[in-house]
Amino acid sequence: MNRLNGKTAVITGGATGIGHAAAKRFIEEGAFVFIFGRRQEALDAAVADLGPNARAVKGSVSNQADLDQLYAAVKAERGTLDIVFANAGAGSQLPLGQITAEHIDETFDTNVKGTIFTVQKALPLMGHGGSIILTGSSAGTTGAPAFSAYGASKAAVRNLAKTWAEDLKGTGIRVNVLSPGPTATDLAKAALGEEGVKAFASMNPLQRMAEPSELGAAAAFLASQDSSFMTASELAVDGGLAQI
């Protein structure tokens, strides 16, 4: 398929996991992709895997100067931008009673403030037909033990899409949320271990974790004109976890 032929995309958190899978799918469908992340080694490996239609820019979504550098690179090489996948995220567990200010700041700086400025700084390069995709989470809908900050931040992301759909009226730019459930990224598998993977897999009706490629396919749908009458929507790719 070439649903994204000639399109230019930015994917934050694009070196690994869901972001890398989305970059791979976008390129397969004809897009030119800029991936953005904090670790140069991971970025270099990703570009080597993705091929000549990928570029990497090192930086953090919580640093506005880094985001300026990203979009300057996009403008210099491509001129305009069609797709923003604000995918970079952070989250760790701390139960109520142990939550710290530092934990809140780290989570919200990346997941909320980082998402806001990733999108806001992209807008001058975007035009009619543009697609903005925000990474939410099933944790933004359901309660998850010890994930107060993370769940709250992802609930905020869902509301950003609804508010921005109103703000973007008349521009022809759509904004939607892609909300994964537990996903079998290399990082997740390493952190959870075999028993943890089994436990997470048992939580949803499909009895398994998602493959990153399945999230990449859903992101490609939201990026393409196949979703042309969708905005302010949340697409749950969670095996039914938050739906029943």
The set of catalytic residues is 150, 154
CA 66 to chain centre: 17
What DSSP string describes the chain?
A: --TTTT-EEEEET-SSHHHHHHHHHHHHTT-EEEEEES-HHHHHHHHHHH-TTEEEEE--TT-HHHHHHHHHHHHHHHS---EEEE-------B-TTS--HHHHHHHHIIIIIHHHHHHHHHGGG--TT-EEEEE--GGGTS--TTBHHHHHHHHHHHHHHHHHHHHTTTTT-EEEEEEE-SB--HHHHHHHHHHHHHHHHTTSTT-SPBPHHHHHHHHHHHHSGGGTT--S-EEEESTTTTT-
Distance from the first to the final alpha carbon of the chain: 33
Tell me the C-alpha distance between 61 and 24, whole Å.
21
What does R_g of the chain's alpha carbons equal in angstroms? 17
